[in-house]
Amino acid sequence: MLAAAVGIGLRSVHVADVIATRPAVAWLEVHAENYMASGGPTLAALGRIRESYPVAIHAVGLSLGSADPLDARHLRRLRALVERIQPALVSDHLSWSSLGGRYVNHLLPLPYTDEALHLVCDHVAQAQNALGRRLLVENPSSYLRFRESPIPEPDFLADVVRRTGCGLLCDVNNVYVSACNLGLDPVAYLDALPVDAIEEFHLAGHSVNDADGVPVLIDDHGARVAPEVWALFAQVLARSGPRPTLIEWDANIPELSVLVDEARRADAVMEAHAVAP
Amino acid sequence: MPSWKRMPSLREVQASFIDALLGSDTAPAAALVDGDGLPPRARLEIYRHHAIDSLTAALQAAYPVVARLVGDGFFRYAAHEFIRAEPPAGPCLFEYGEGFPGFLATFPPGRSLEYLPDVARLEWKLNAAAHADDFVPVDLGRLLGLDPDDAERVTFQLDPSLSLLASPWPIDAIWHANQPEVDPDRTVDLDAGAVHLEIRRVDDNPAFRRLAPPTFAFRRILLTGFPLSDALRAAHAEDHAFDVTDALRALFEENVLGGFRLSPETKASAS
């Protein structure tokens, strides 16, 4: 069980620094797919870090929404990593990334239909069986919606939770990015999520791009958390109570101290707004 | 704009989406997308851009010397064409890009840089060495039990991070001259002759060094899994004076040997 405190996403440029300086953060999260080699110093370093910190494993490769069956080899490798690291949490996304043996390394959007709901539920259940533990499913950041997508995303997630018993990883920045890009109300979105299922929050920065003269928010994890996202985080905390929360940074990665500073800020927001359960 | 005659299945939606990202036909996917104030193609383009961008970054991480040799614009173009032709088969990106050297060898804009595919092969082998299995070298007592008369039927297991690469170009010098800290005006004599390289992970760091051609031939045959006698024949073809005792001692002292196996009568293994 992970404490309801703030951790940071561990990226390769910071591994040596974390081992040397042991920064005061509550836990660390790593991307599963970077640690799936069967040997070598990268995996060994994660083992050393695990001796000092609780670790969560965040996967990007299960492709839970793919019309193809789950990749059995990938699931085996994830299970091996989970057995080795004994993480506090394991998560992946409500998205898909591969079809027909082509993997595109992007969290692609789903049409929210009954067909997709059944498929995602089957895949989440299979993954949970294979891993022998509960999986957390993260809400994606979206740049489009399909014409034929009758189920609102938070309702879709609530159904997946109800049918599979999985937990939710609520990425507050993703909620804000998707809401801006698709003209949704982020507060209504968060209100519609089954708050008791939220076992982890993600916070990250985004950038604003121009697409044919229209501003589009890009979830690039390349900046500090935006003020609007801090405000949403405070609002959802008032309903959810304190939860394990992660600062992610994947582009223009700054010094480790900047991530630690951002984590302190998240701690302060949680302290001020979370109602203890 | 083409339209779908009926509501497509999820598989059809995803197939059209992947075609829009990796192929050239965006129309079927665009017809499925709600524009919400933007052309659907512009929304698809956001996904296409980020998919290609992240995979290009993965190739740049595996092939930094190639990237420096050809420059950013050329590299991005080559990567784009490669990604479309050979997208990853799975989500572990440290395994992506093995086909890039072969792609470069047939990529018309790169033909004038004849040494480029071999430089890329060297970079891939360094990348593979970094992620290879850990192993425990054989202990001396076990090795001393080896009977010289068993040369015909003994095969060796070598360090799984070890690989070999021969090139008619001085790719080791090219690699060293194109490290980030090196003066970009430094030159390499391309007529310096062929090289025989051994790539390995030593003390957690992937590294390479030159081998003498007889030693290269000897280790190449052992690495392929053929018996010691075959490796000796290959070495002797390069140098009649090649000494098997010296060669085995070197393998042991360099901690390259993981074990050995006698076949077919006995199945012994040191590992």
ipTM of this complex: 0.95
Residue B256 has pLDDT above 70, yes or no: yes
Digits of tens for pLDDT over chain A (277 positions)? Answer: 798 999 999 999 999 999 999 999 999 999 999 999 988 999 999 999 999 999 999 999 999 999 999 999 999 999 999 999 999 999 999 999 999 999 999 999 999 999 999 999 999 999 999 999 999 999 999 999 999 999 999 999 999 999 999 999 999 999 999 999 999 999 999 999 999 999 999 999 999 998 878 899 999 999 999 999 999 999 999 999 999 999 999 999 999 999 999 999 999 999 999 776 5
Q: Does A36 touch chain B (CB under 8 A)?
A: yes
Indicate yes or no: CB of B46 within 8 angstroms of CB of A216: yes
Å between A204 CA and nearest CA of chain B: 17
**Are A247 and A225 a contacting pair, CB within 8 Å?**
yes
Residue A213 has what pLDDT? Answer: 84
**How many cross-chain Cβ pairs, A to B, lie less than 8 Å apart?**
145
Name the pLDDT band for B265 (thresholds 50, 70, 90): low
What's the Cα-to-Cα distance from A255 to each of A5, A13, A17, A25, B78, rounded to whole Å? 21, 9, 9, 15, 32
Give the pLDDT confidence of B51-60 residue by residue, as tens digits: 999 999 999 9
Residue A276 has what pLDDT? Answer: 64
Structural domains in chain A plus CATH codes: 6-273 (3.20.20.150)
**Are A225 and A204 a contacting pair, CB within 8 Å?**
yes
**Are A214 and B37 a contacting pair, CB within 8 Å?**
yes
Residue B130 has pLDDT above 80, yes or no: yes
Q: Does A207 touch chain B (CB under 8 A)?
A: no
> Between A39, A143, A149, which is nearest B46 by CB?
A143
Average pLDDT over residues B190-208: 95
**Are A123 and A62 a contacting pair, CB within 8 Å?**
yes
Q: Does A17 touch chain B (CB under 8 A)?
A: no
Indicate yes or no: CB of B94 within 8 angstroms of CB of A101: no
Give the pLDDT confidence of A176-205 residue by residue, as tens digits: 999 999 999 999 999 999 999 999 999 999
Q: Does A99 touch chain B (CB under 8 A)?
A: yes
Residue A125 has what pLDDT? Answer: 98
What does the alpha-carbon distance between residue A205 and residue A220 come to, in Å, rounded to a whole number? 7
Cβ contacts of residue B258 below 8 Å, gap of 6+? Answer: B135, B136, B137, B138, B156, B157, B158, B159, B160, B270, B271
Indicate yes or no: CB of A67 within 8 angstroms of CB of B58: no
Q: Does A151 touch chain B (CB under 8 A)?
A: no
Residue A262 has what pLDDT? Answer: 98
Residue B219 has what pLDDT? Answer: 98
Residue B140 has pLDDT above 80, yes or no: no
Q: Which residues of chain A have a CB within 8 Å of the CB of B40?
A: 144
